[in-house]
Chain A
Amino acid sequence: QLHLQESGPGLVKPSETLSLTCTVSGGSITGNTYYWGCVRQPPGKGLEWIGSFSHSGSTYYNPSLKSRVSISGDTTKNQFSLKLSSVTAADTAVYYCARLSRLDSGRVWFDTWGQGTLVTVSS
C-alpha cells in the first residue's frame, strides 16, 4: 500500500526557505501514470495547491507561488522535495504531500495523501 510521509522543520524564520521532504513507500515516483505534488492548508482555511511534477519532466506550479517554489524528485531515495523561499507568516500552514493519478490531460486527481505536517513561520 502506498504511503507518503512528510518531514522537515516545524518552525521557519521569516525570509528564510521552507524545505519539506516527502518520502514515498509502497510505490515508485518513476513511471508516467502519476504526478507527485504538494498541497497546503492554512489554519482554519481551505486547500491550496502548491505544485506538481512527473518523472517525465513535467512540472506545474501555482502561479501565485511560482516565483518562490520548487518541487523536484530524487529517484535514488524515492523522495521528492518542496522548497519555498522568502517565507512570511502567510505561509504558515499544514503541508501535505500527495500522489496524483492521471488518466489524460484533463483528468487528474489526488488519490493518496500524506498525513501532513504543520510548518509555522515565526521569528
Chain B
Amino acid sequence: SYVLTQTPSVSVAPGQTARINCGGNNIGSKSVHWYQQKPGQAPVLVVYDDSARPSGIPERFSASNSGNTATLTISRVEAGDEADYYCQVWDSSSDQHVVFGGGTQLTAL
C-alpha cells in the first residue's frame, strides 16, 4: 500500500516560515490534503487538492506538490499555529484508499 512519510517535528521562531514535508512515491501525481490538529481537538482541513484553501484559512497557509514531495508552508508563524499537521491522499489504486502521513508536530520556539 501507499506510504506517506513526514518528519516528526519542526521548530521555527515566531514570524518565520515553517515548511512541513510529506514524502511519497510520485506523490506529485496525486492530490494531497493537509490537516491541522491542536491538542484535544479534532483535525481541521487547512489545504485541499494540493494547494486550495478552505474558507476561513489564512493566506499564510500555502502548499505545493511535485515529484516525490508535497510541502505545506506556513508564513509568519504564530504561537497559535502550534499543532500537529497531517498530509493525506486518496489512493484508488489499492485497497488502502485513505492514507495519512504520520504527522509533524510544529513548535513555535
**Interface residue tally of chain B, by bracket?**
20 to 34
What A residues does B102 contact at CB under 8 A? Answer: 46
Interchain CB contact under 8 A, A111 and B86? no
What are the 6 A-B residue pairs with the smallest beta carbon separation, nearest first?
A49-B98, A108-B90, A109-B33, A113-B42, A107-B31, A46-B103
Q: Is A75 an interface residue (CB 8 A)?
A: no
The stretch of A14-22, A25-33, A85-93, A98-106 in contact with B is A98-106
Q: Closest residue to A49 on the B side, CB-wise?
A: B98
The stretch of B14-22, B43-51, B60-68, B69-77 in contact with A is B43-51
What A residues does B97 contact at CB under 8 A? Answer: 49, 52, 60, 108
Q: Is A116 an interface residue (CB 8 A)?
A: yes
Interface residues of B (CB under 8 A from A): 1, 30-31, 33, 35, 37, 41-45, 48-49, 54, 84, 86, 88, 90, 92, 95-103
Interchain CB contact under 8 A, B30 and A106? yes
Report the separation of the CA atoms of residues A47 and B102 in the bound assembly, to the nearest whole angstrom: 7
